[in-house]
């Protein structure tokens, strides 16, 4: 009965989405305020029904209702409760429901929190979101209903894919989807503004915090995914340029360009058309991501069994969204006034340069990701693009990106004198070149040109950020004034930028060092045997059998010594899940600030010996630390005081961030 | 020409040049990093280049996995149900590597026609078949059917 209730709620949600898509839009076009006013209640209704549907599916998993096909395929009585919940988005149908549910949530959030928007604009924004929602809800109802029943009812479910039975992966998809779907808000704002023909600074100011929040979720989602891949897949890698990873990375890159371009549009009124285009592109790429993941057209760790009908539906949907929005853009964009002019040497130029680089990188990732599809379609053979290519391409472009990132914050809007700029930057330039050369010399480890370059870029970034901070605070005399600065309007944006850019410096170091200096060894070891790697001695103490809740594990014991001092005992596992009878590798990791020691079990080779994979991974944590800092920077920027009016009262009432508390203390 | 216009043109030229050069490099690297996919019968027919990084895919022949004394080097046979090639891999095989399972190996074809794999991919869903492998098996199956069909008509 409850699954039928969920199904029915889903149908009602689709009807609500139809109402939401049609009435406010038509009302806004023929000046019928009564129709526009439908938007808020419809958004509320849609969310309520989606919430009911979602709760029904969660309930079906929790009570082991195997009469529901989806639950029978992915649930199990022995599954721990947390994974019963996460199993909801463990496969196709449920993750679509999550997508739609989150879209409903974002729609409701816009309806509730965007109070400063004119009704007409709000109506259009919600209406566009309703249209997107129609696409997904009808897709779900017509091709992949999560509530479909099965008969005869199996007595036991086929269990969740063991890979997904992990905390990191339980929260990775919701985060990623929050980001993907959140970009639909920026998209809807752009479409609404195009329809209204009002692309002005207030439009940029409205959509900026929403875009930043979506971008933060995307950042967190990608960081979590990378971290999960590192400890769960047992290969010790953190990024594989897998099509599905690319599918999440491309919207991120474009969204990054978008939040910077929005800043220019808000502050200077320039780049309007470009910003709109980026907003359309970012959401189109997240739809493309969904298509790549769900259609199974590409070989990837994420693709499960393919279904051509579903792929076709998403492809058509994709064409309508992208084609429609680009057509609207082509029609309306020429009317948009071009904004404030600027000189060659100005912050606008640097931001434009960075935007261009981000888009070029995205274009190449898109090429590398879609090339196999294109080659196959044209009959040129089956190919894949090796990840060395992605790496090379990334190394070609990112140094310029980081170079501009350092210059940007110190350069003035509109025009900056070249001589003055050089004077300001000479210290940073000197320090970073020295640091780079030092790192490239064999003083510190076996140096290399790449290590030198990375250190140079990171130091450049950090020193320029420091210079920028110094300049900002030099106008504030005394501790109280400095503390006051933290709570000023616009300071959230500034300190957020500082933190996020610092995160990029940390990330750069992490990526370069782990890529250049990691040490890997595949080895056969008998119990009691010792082996040395990177100055650490690994002793293998054999493998024992340990039972888990829904699996049986072979647990190895490896003791790690450094100069006869025991550092840690690692217990990597090889788990065999009872239902799906799949082996799974759980790595044993000793995490550290400057290095990880990573051990994973291979196979039993008889006589108690096992094949083992040992890794020494310097600075690998810095990759995710960088990601976290970038996300934190985004959070600071999104909750800048000047958006508070645009955001809701609830946010104001919510616990103030530490900086606010500090500031109020400073004032009293 | 006003100085403002000249500036703008310089800016545009610089950006186009920069992006153009970088694009050139990236595309050159792209061509060098393309890996073509071959199925075992294509390798046997000599269509696959030796020494170049390629991918092969098919089913692991049952009973063919042999481990060498060092415990880490494995040889196994890969088939598309028409022809079979031998693959050698040193290292730890993925969790889902099993006999009878569809896999993809990335590596180079040696002079002795043994494929030296640098990486072996087996997918995380055992019902899942890499699309390349599925297509290869389908093509091989159709070829086999048409050949037996043709053989049947001859008296």
Q: What pLDDT does residue A644 have?
A: 62
Q: Select the residue of A163, A389, A582 nearest B29 (Cβ to Cβ).
A: A389
> How many Å apart are CA A588 and CA A568, to the nearest integer?
10
Say if CB B130 and CB B77 are below 8 A apart: no
- Which residues fall within 8 angstroms of residue A591, CB to CB, at 6 or more apart? A621
Domain with CATH 2.60.98 in chain A: 519-619
> How many Å apart are CA A282 and CA A185, to the nearest integer?
11
Residue A158 has pLDDT above 80, yes or no: yes
Residue A662 has pLDDT above 60, yes or no: no
Q: Rounded to a whole number, what is the distance in Å from the CA of B75 to chain A's nearest CA? A: 15
Q: Which of A45-59, A547-561, A579-593 has the lowest mean pLDDT?
A: A579-593
* pLDDT tier, A88 (very low <50, low <70, confident <90, very high otherwise): very high
ipTM of the modeled complex:
0.78
> How many Å apart are CA A18 and CA A12, to the nearest integer?
10
CA-closest candidate to residue B61, choices B114, B107, B103: B103
User: What's the whole-number mean pLDDT along residues B118-138?
Assistant: 68
Q: Select the residue of A386, A388, A582 nearest B126 (Cβ to Cβ).
A: A582
What are φ and ψ of residue B53, in 5° steps?
A: -70, 120
> How many Å apart are CA A503 and CA A625, to the nearest integer?
7
Q: Cβ separation of B131 and A356 shorter than 8 Å? A: no
Mutate to test the interface with B, among A382, A404, A583 (most CBs of B within 10 A): A382
CA-closest candidate to residue A114, choices A640, A646, A643, A639: A646
Q: What pLDDT does residue B154 have?
A: 33
Chain B contact set for A298 (CB, 8 A): 131
Chain A contact set for B25 (CB, 8 A): 396
Average pLDDT, chain B: 78
Q: How many residues does chain A have?
A: 668
Q: Cβ separation of A304 and B29 shorter than 8 Å? A: no
At A548 the three-state DSSP class reads coil
* Chain A residues 356-385 with a CB less than 8 Å from chain B: 356, 360, 364, 367-368, 371, 381-385
Say if CB A561 and CB A537 are below 8 A apart: yes
Mutate to test the interface with A, among B23, B25, B122, B124 (most CBs of A within 10 A): B124
Say if CB A136 and CB A69 are below 8 A apart: no
Mutate to test the interface with A, among B8, B30, B39 (most CBs of A within 10 A): B30
Q: What pLDDT does residue B151 have?
A: 38
- Give the residue on A whose Cα is nearest the Cα of B10: A344
Q: What pLDDT does residue A660 have?
A: 39
Chain B contact set for A364 (CB, 8 A): 26
Chain A contact set for B17 (CB, 8 A): none
User: What's the whole-number mean pLDDT along residues A590-616?
Assistant: 88
Does residue A125 have a cis peptide bond before it, meaning omega lies within 30 degrees of 0?
Answer: no
Instruction: Determine the CATH number of domain B37-153.
Output: 2.40.50.140
Looking at chain A, the whole-number percentage of residues with pLDDT higher than 70 is 92
Alpha-carbon dihedral angle through residues A31, A32, A34, A38, given to the nearest 10 degrees: -80
* pLDDT tier, B39 (very low <50, low <70, confident <90, very high otherwise): confident
Q: Identify the H or E element spanning A446.
A: none
Average pLDDT, chain A: 86
Output the six-digit token pair for A667.
């004032």
Q: Cβ separation of B33 and A385 shorter than 8 Å? A: yes
Task: Kindly report, residue by residue over A402-411, the tens digit of the pLDDT.
Answer: 999 998 888 8
Q: What pLDDT does residue A489 have?
A: 76
**Distances in Å between the alpha carbon of A663 and those of A246, A633, A638?**
41, 18, 18
Alpha-carbon dihedral angle through residues B16, B18, B20, B26, given to the nearest 10 degrees: -150
Paired residues of A149 in beta bridges = A68
* pLDDT tier, B87 (very low <50, low <70, confident <90, very high otherwise): very high
Chain B contact set for A609 (CB, 8 A): 71
Q: Is A304 on the interface with B (CB under 8 A)?
A: yes
* Chain A residues 18-57 with a CB less than 8 Å from chain B: none
Q: Rounded to a whole number, what is the distance in Å from the CA of A570 to chain B's nearest CA? A: 19
Paired residues of A576 in beta bridges = A552, A583
* pLDDT tier, A117 (very low <50, low <70, confident <90, very high otherwise): confident
At A282 the three-state DSSP class reads helix
> How many Å apart are CA A80 and CA A597, to the nearest integer?
29
* pLDDT tier, A416 (very low <50, low <70, confident <90, very high otherwise): confident
Instruction: Give the position of tokens 């959140």.
Output: A182
Chain B contact set for A374 (CB, 8 A): none
Q: Cβ separation of B96 and A386 shorter than 8 Å? A: no
* Chain A residues 596-615 with a CB less than 8 Å from chain B: 600, 602-603, 605, 609, 611, 613
DSSP notation for A199-264: -SHHHHHHHHHHHHHHHHHHHHHHHHHHHHHHHHSSS--S----HHHHHHHHHHHHHHHHHHHHHH
Angle between helices A243-268 and A167-196 (to 10 degrees): 40
Q: Cβ separation of A305 and B128 shorter than 8 Å? A: yes
Residue A420 has pLDDT above 90, yes or no: no
- Note the pTM of the prediction, 2 decimals: 0.88
Q: What pLDDT does residue A302 have?
A: 46
CA-closest candidate to residue A534, choices A569, A567, A571: A567
Cα A105 to chain centroid, rounded:
18
Task: Kindly report, residue by residue over A306-325, the tens digit of the pLDDT.
Answer: 566 677 787 788 889 999 99
Tell me if the domain spanning A519-619 has CATH number 3.40.50.
Answer: no
Q: What pLDDT does residue A213 have?
A: 95
CA-closest candidate to residue A436, choices A625, A502, A444, A407: A444
Q: Where are the beta strands (DSSP E) in A352-395?
A: 383-385
Cβ neighbour number for residue A647 with a 10 Å cutoff = 21
Angle between helices A119-143 and A92-113 (to 10 degrees): 170
Residue A667 has pLDDT above 60, yes or no: no
Q: Identify the H or E element spanning B90.
A: strand B84-90
Q: Cβ separation of B128 and A303 shorter than 8 Å? A: yes
Output the six-digit token pair for A533.
């790697």
Q: What pLDDT does residue A424 have?
A: 84
What are φ and ψ of residue B19, in 5° steps?
A: -65, -40
Residue A658 has pLDDT above 50, yes or no: no
């Amino acid at each position: 009965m409850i699954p039928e209730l969920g199904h029915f709620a889903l149908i009602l949600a689709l009807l609500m989405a139809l109402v939401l898509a049609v009435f406010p839009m038509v009302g806004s076009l023929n000046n019928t305020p009564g129709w526009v006013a439908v938007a808020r209640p419809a958004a509320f209704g849609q969310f309520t029904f989606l919430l009911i549907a979602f709760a029904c599916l969660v309930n079906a998993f929790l009570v082991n209702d195997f009469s529901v096909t989806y639950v029978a395929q992915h649930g199990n009585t022995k599954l721990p409760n947390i994974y019963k919940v996460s199993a909801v988005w463990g496969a196709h149908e449920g993750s679509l429901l999550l997508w739609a549910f989150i879209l409903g949530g974002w729609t409701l959030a816009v309806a509730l929190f965007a109070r400063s928007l004119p009704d007409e604009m709000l109506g259009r924004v919600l209406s566009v979101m309703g249209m997107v929602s129609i696409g997904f809800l009808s897709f779900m109802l017509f091709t992949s209903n999560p509530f479909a029943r099965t008969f005869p009812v199996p007595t036991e479910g086929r269990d969740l894919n063991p890979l997904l039975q992990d905390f990191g992966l339980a929260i990775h998809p919701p985060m990623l989807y929050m980001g993907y779907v959140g970009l639909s808000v920026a998209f809807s704002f752009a479409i609404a503004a195009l329809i209204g023909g009002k692309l002005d600074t207030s439009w940029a100011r409205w959509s900026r915090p929403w875009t930043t929040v979506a971008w933060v979720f995307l950042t967190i989602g990608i960081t979590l995914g990378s971290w999960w891949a590192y400890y769960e897949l047992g290969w010790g890698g953190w990024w594989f340029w897998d099509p599905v990873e690319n599918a999440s990375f491309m919207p991120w890159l474009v969204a990054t360009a978008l939040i910077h371009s929005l800043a220019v549009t808000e502050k200077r009124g320039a780049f309007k058309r470009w910003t709109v285009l980026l907003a359309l592109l970012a959401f189109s790429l997240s739809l493309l991501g969904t298509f790549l993941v769900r259609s199974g057209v590409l070989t990837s760790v994420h693709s499960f069994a393919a279904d051509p009908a579903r792929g076709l539906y998403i492809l058509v949907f994709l064409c309508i969204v992208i084609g429609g929005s680009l057509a609207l853009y082509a029609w309306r964009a020429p009317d948009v006034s071009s904004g404030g002019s600027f000189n060659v040497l100005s912050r606008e130029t640097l931001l434009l340069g960075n935007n261009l680089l981000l888009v070029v990188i995205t274009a190449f990732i898109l090429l590398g990701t879609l090339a196999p599809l294109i080659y196959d379609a044209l009959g040129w053979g089956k190919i894949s693009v090796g990840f060395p290519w992605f790496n090379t391409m990334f190394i070609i472009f990112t140094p310029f990106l980081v170079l501009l990132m350092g210059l940007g914050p110190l350069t003035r809007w509109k025009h900056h004198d070249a001589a003055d700029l050089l004077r300001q930057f000479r210290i940073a330039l000197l320090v970073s070149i020295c640091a780079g050369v030092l790192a490239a010399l064999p003083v510190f480890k076996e140096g290399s040109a790449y290590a030198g370059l990375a250190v140079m870029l990171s130091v450049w970034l950090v020193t320029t950020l420091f210079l920028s901070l110094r300049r900002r605070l030099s106008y504030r005399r005394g501790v109280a004034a400095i503390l006051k600065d933290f709570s000023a309007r616009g300071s959230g944006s500034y300190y957020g930028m500082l933190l996020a850019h610092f995160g990029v410096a940390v990330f750069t170091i992490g990526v370069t060092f782990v890529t250049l200096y990691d040490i890997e060894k595949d080895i056969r070891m008998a119990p009691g045997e010792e082996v040395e790697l990177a100055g650490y001695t690994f002793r293998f103490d054999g493998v024992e059998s340990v039972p888990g809740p829904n699996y049986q594990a072979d647990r190895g014991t490896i003791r790690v010594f450094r100069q006869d001092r025991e550092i840690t005992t690692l217990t990597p596992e090889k788990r065999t899940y009872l239902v799906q009878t799949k082996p799974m590798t759980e790595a044993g990791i000793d995490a550290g600030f400057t290095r990880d020691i990573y051990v994973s079990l291979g196979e039993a080779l008889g006589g108690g010996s096992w094949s083992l994979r040992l890794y020494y991974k310097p600075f690998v944590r810095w990759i995710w630390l960088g990601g976290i800092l970038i996300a934190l920077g985004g959070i600071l920027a999104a909750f800048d005081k000047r958006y508070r009016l645009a955001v809701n009262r609830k946010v104001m009432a919510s616990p103030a961030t530490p900086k606010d508390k500090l500031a109020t203390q400073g004032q009293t | 020409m006003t100085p403002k216009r000249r500036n703008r043109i310089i800016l545009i030229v610089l950006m186009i040049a920069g992006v153009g050069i970088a694009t050139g490099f990236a595309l050159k690297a792209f061509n060098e990093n393309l890996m073509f996919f071959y199925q075992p019968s294509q390798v046997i027919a000599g269509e696959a280049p030796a020494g170049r990084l390629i991918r092969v895919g098919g089913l692991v022949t049952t009973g063919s996995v042999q481990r060498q004394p060092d415990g880490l080097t494995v040889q196994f046979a890969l088939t598309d149900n028409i022809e079979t090639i031998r693959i050698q891999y040193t290292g730890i095989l993925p969790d889902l590597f099993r006999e009878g399972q569809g896999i993809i190996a990335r590596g180079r074809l040696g002079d002795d026609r043994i494929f030296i794999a640098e990486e072996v991919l087996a997918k995380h869903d055992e019902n899942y078949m890499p699309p390349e492998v599925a297509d290869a098996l389908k093509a091989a199956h159709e070829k086999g059917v048409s050949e037996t069909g043709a053989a049947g008509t001859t008296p």
